[in-house]
Amino acid sequence: MASNNNNKKRSTFTKPLPKNAIPFNLEAEKAVLGSALVDKNALLNILSSLEEEDFYLPKHKAIYKAIRGLNDKSSNVDVLTVYDELVLLKEIDLVGGVNYLQECVDTMVSLSNLEFYINILIDQSVLRKMLTSVRNINEKYQNEVIENVNDFILESEEEFKKAIERRRVSTFKKVDDIAKVVKSELDTVRNFNENEEDEEVTGVTTGFKRLNQLTNGFHREEYIIVGARPSVGKTTFTLNLALNAARMGRVGVAIFSLEMSSESLVKKLVSSLSFVSLKSINTNRVSGQDKVKVSAAIDEISNANIYIDDSSGLRLSDVVNKVKKLSVADPNLGLVVVDYLGLLDSSNDGKSGDNRQEEVRRISKGLKQLARDVKVPIIVVCQLNRNTDSRKENKRPMISDLRESGAIEQDADVVLLLYRPDYYSMWNDETSKKKTGKLSESDKFELAKKVEEKQLGQEMPGSASYVEVIVAKNRNGQTGRCGLFFYKDYAKFETPSREWEEKMLKITDNAASED
């Protein structure tokens, strides 16, 4: 086993290469593969950090491919199973048989030193790509007519950037680190608090009383779908669920954001907690008492046990390996959020040959199995198709409106669908009373809102909307509807207060015609 002195190791592994030699490190490649064959924690670390292309020798690429293949099939990874997999792949002769696998095992390193060896492989891999790119640029310059020098420079620069840009399967960033960046931008100070929900649930709290009553919270091993049309608020709603779980449920929460940066997500959380508009926070126009509220919200978020991974181009296997690794590092992990399913790739090389429906089926089953493996509820955000928009009357979403819904509907333990009537501008032409003879809760909210704004002499703050959370499927509990207020300016979902419920109760079915 190698020395624990990283300085000594680096000097050994970075000695000058002979002229025209290809940069790679035989000892480091063998040590990493040997560790994967023996230690499960090392295996998860390696699979979430390295790609097949990070190994230079063809036999090492073959061993890594066999290891990943076994892991993707949830099979044990050891010398014998990898040997059998290599036989099936017809690569065993290339590798050199079981003796070479054992030779790799003999060079394994401790878990504490593994990161150093992984970084060596990444460095060498990036260096190889860089040198290849430089060689290609030079050949193009020598052999082709350069009609426009500026274009050639820009194209060469782009090729070089692509060559050295590591496909980022980043480690999780603790939310307190991200919050510090946001805080430094706003240069704020502290002090804010909010009453926590006292509702008793059997799972992880949703933070919303009525939704807790329907679901009893989110439970271990549950696979939960949140579906809505674009711009209805599904990402914001899911972020609110995640923050409530971390603050009120006091569990660790992992968020995979495939569409938004970690900083943007944290700014949304800050706006939600502080009731300071997201626009003001994004443009750094926060002053006076709002500064105090924002600073306090940042401090509170920093204390929440939230991890955010904003890697783009994530594959199902990346999510699986990262969650399993995190669940070992943080035994208090209680919720995982994936936003959103449509951007996940099921293939290992990023080039799936299956049609999208088959790919969604594979992703859905993989995430459901992950929830069972780590015994943590997983929330996955999905888009609805256009069927809801094309329906003339009732635009309230149904499970069948989920894109490629067959596998999702079957796999899901809980399906939550968001319905926001003002998304369809329904209020601009007619209330539901004209169709049903009875006002909906959304109609009553809009009428009560009008009364409130007339009394205030101005619009209500926050650009509030009424949103129905439809529990369309609940394998272990009730289905039903939960009304929430969505303050779009604050990225905040909230249970209607008793005062608002009383105002809405006073609205009669004659109110629309009287208005």
Q: Where are the domains of the chain?
A: 6-164, 173-416
- pLDDT of res. 400: 87
Q: Give percent of the chain with pLDDT exceeding 90.
A: 55
Mean pLDDT of 126-151: 89
pLDDT at residue 256 tops 80: yes
Is pLDDT at 438 greater than 60 in this prediction?
yes
Question: Counting beta carbons within 10 angstroms of the beta carbon of residue 242, is it exposed (0 to 12), middle (13 to 18) or buried (19 or more)?
Answer: buried
Q: What is the pLDDT of residue 161?
A: 78
Least confident of 31-35, 184-188, 276-280: 184-188
Residue 198: is its pLDDT beyond 50? no
Contact criterion met (CB below 8 Å) for 345 and 313:
yes
Helix-helix angle 316-329:40-47, to 10 degrees: 140
pLDDT tens digits for range 325-365: 999 899 999 999 999 898 998 765 555 556 778 888 889 99
Radius of gyration of the chain (CA): 27
Give the confidence band of 6 by pLDDT, cuts at 50, 70, 90.
very low
Say which CATH architecture domain 6-164 belongs to.
Answer: Orthogonal Bundle (1.10)
395-413: average pLDDT: 85
Cβ contacts of 508 within 8 Å, gap of 6 or more: 439
Whether 270 contacts 355, CB under 8 Å: no
Contact yes or no for 419/471 (Cβ under 8 A) = no
pLDDT one-digit tens code per residue, 152-186 = 887 888 788 777 766 555 668 788 888 877 777 66
pLDDT attached to residue 9: 43
Provide the whole-model pTM: 0.77
Give 349's DSSP letter: S
Judged by average pLDDT, the poorest of 222-226, 386-390, 395-399, 433-437 is 433-437
Q: Which residues are part of the catalytic machinery? A: 259
Other Cβ atoms less than 10 A from the Cβ of 229: the count is 22
- The whole-chain average pLDDT of the chain stands at 84
All residues at 6 or more sequence positions from 157 whose CB lies less than 8 Å from its CB, including other chains: none
- Is 194 or 53 the better-scoring residue by pLDDT? 53
513 vs 156, residue with greater confidence: 156
Neighbours of 53 (CB within 10 A): 13
Q: Assign 470 to helix, strand or coil.
A: strand
Q: What residues contact 415, with CB distance under 8 A and at least 6 apart?
A: 224, 225, 227, 399, 402, 409, 471, 472, 473, 474
pLDDT, average across residues 73-82: 94
Question: Which listed CATH number (3.40.50.1440, 3.40.50.620, 3.40.50.720, 3.40.50.300) goes with 173-416?
Answer: 3.40.50.300
Q: Choose between 156 and 512: higher pLDDT.
A: 156
Return the DSSP state at 431: -
